[in-house]
Amino acid sequence: MEELIYDGTMRILSGIQPSGTMHIGNYLGAVKQWVAYQNPEAFYCVVDLHALTLEIEPEVLREQSLDCVATLLAAGIDPEIATVFLQSHVSVHAQMGWLLECVANFGELSRMTQFKEKASRQKGYRVGLLTYPVLMAGDILLYDAEQVPVGDDQRQHLELTRELAERFNNRFGLTFAVPVGYVPHAAARVMDLQEPERKMSKSISSPLGSIYLFDEPAEIEKKIMKAVTDTDGEVRFDPKKKPGLSNLLEIFSSFDNSTPQDVAQRYERYGDLKKDLAELVVTSLAPIKARYHELRGDPAELDRVIAHGAKKAMATAEPVYRRAAAAMGLI
């Protein structure tokens, strides 16, 4: 995965599932980068079709999709600059998914780590869980995306996207731009505060393991003060030997735009580090939370943003879909 060399106009696409309140892993690993790299060529997709692979009630999905759009705007994405849209509003996503399913192999999909993990936890899992990364590849390829800012857990899906794009181009002629992933240096994999060997996750997480963007300040403080560390008492960044403490240092440095090593040098005691981290997280999230509630109280404005986003996204994605369909021989 390469470093993002940003010239201010790069075609970017990324996506997030509307599967519940975002945690600071989503924020630091992905959304914070989306805000930083937004430009008129950036497309940010709330992947509601992907969320159908989860057991999710229809009315919950509806609300969470709106929550997710509001959270992205509250985090600082300006819908008049970047394009924010719902995946299901741009019908060529599902269509492109089908074309690419006819390019992907069963074997490569069944080897995806995320599929194996999720499938092992469900009896009789859905076919959509297997084809999930193909739909994701379509999301990316439809926009001729040059860069795809994501957290570390999406590396394998990005590799598959590149592989499918190259295979398609070889078989049917040059059709797709081959995208590059961008994983941030810090906080690409924020770990669970209680089980620092596992990533912070919306679906499986210990009660005190994840910090959600809209947690109350007292909850945030409690979760950080109770975060699992170690007993040697030395403040040092060492993810292998000191995973819990190093995770806190990464979170700290990502919120304060420094490095984990810098932060480590400022502290001698775990308790002091934790106290300051709690304050930093609370003050960083407060404006996002306030703006979120404002936006969520204005459904007409959210509807307007979503409709505007769908129009802009469609204008870009439809010609690419037609290009791919024609290359495959569809009239």
First-residue to last-residue Cα distance in the chain: 37
Is 274 catalytic? The answer is: no
Choose the contact partner of 96 out of ligand AMP, ligand TRP, none; CB within 5 to 8 A by kind. none
Interaction site with ligand TRP (CB under 6 A): 13-17, 47, 50, 136, 139-140, 148, 150, 154, 157
CB of 77 to ligand AMP, least distance (A): 14
Is residue 150 at the binding interface for ligand AMP, with CB under 6 A as the rule?
yes
CB of 304 to ligand TRP, least distance (A): 24
Q: What is the CA radius of gyration of the chain?
A: 20
What SS3 state is found at 315? helix
- By CB under 6 A, how many residues form the interface with ligand AMP? 17
Is 226 catalytic? The answer is: no
CB of 114 to ligand TRP, least distance (A): 7
Choose the contact partner of 144 out of ligand TRP, ligand AMP, none; CB within 5 to 8 A by kind. none
Is 223 catalytic? The answer is: no
Which of the residues 32, 116, 123, 202 is marked catalytic?
A: 202
> Residues of 167-183 as b/e, b for ≥16 C-beta within 10 angstroms?
ebeeebeebbbbbbbbb
What SS3 state is found at 312? helix
Site string for ligand AMP, 180-199 (x = CB under 6 A): --------xxx--------x
According to CB under 6 A, which one of 4, 12, 13, 26 is a site residue for ligand AMP? 26
Nearer to ligand AMP, 88 or 154 (CB): 154
Amino acid type, 118: K
Cβ-based neighbours of 186, under 8 Å, separated by 6 or more: 28, 250, 253, 254, 259, 260
Nearer to ligand AMP, 153 or 219 (CB): 153
Is residue 29 at the binding interface for ligand AMP, with CB under 6 A as the rule?
yes
- DSSP H helical ranges for the chain: 24-26, 32-36, 48-51, 58-74, 92-101, 106-110, 113-120, 127-141, 155-172, 217-225, 243-255, 260-265, 270-296, 299-328
CA distance 99 to 118: 24
Are the CB atoms for 321 and 314 separated by under 8 Å? Answer: no
Which of the residues 32, 118, 242, 274 is marked catalytic?
A: 118
Are the CB atoms for 227 and 274 separated by under 8 Å? Answer: yes
Nearer to ligand TRP, 136 or 263 (CB): 136
CB of 270 to ligand TRP, least distance (A): 31
Helix axes 299-328, 92-101, angle to 10 degrees: 30
Q: Which residues bind ligand AMP (CB under 6 A)?
A: 16-17, 19, 25-26, 29-30, 150-151, 153-154, 188-190, 199-200, 202
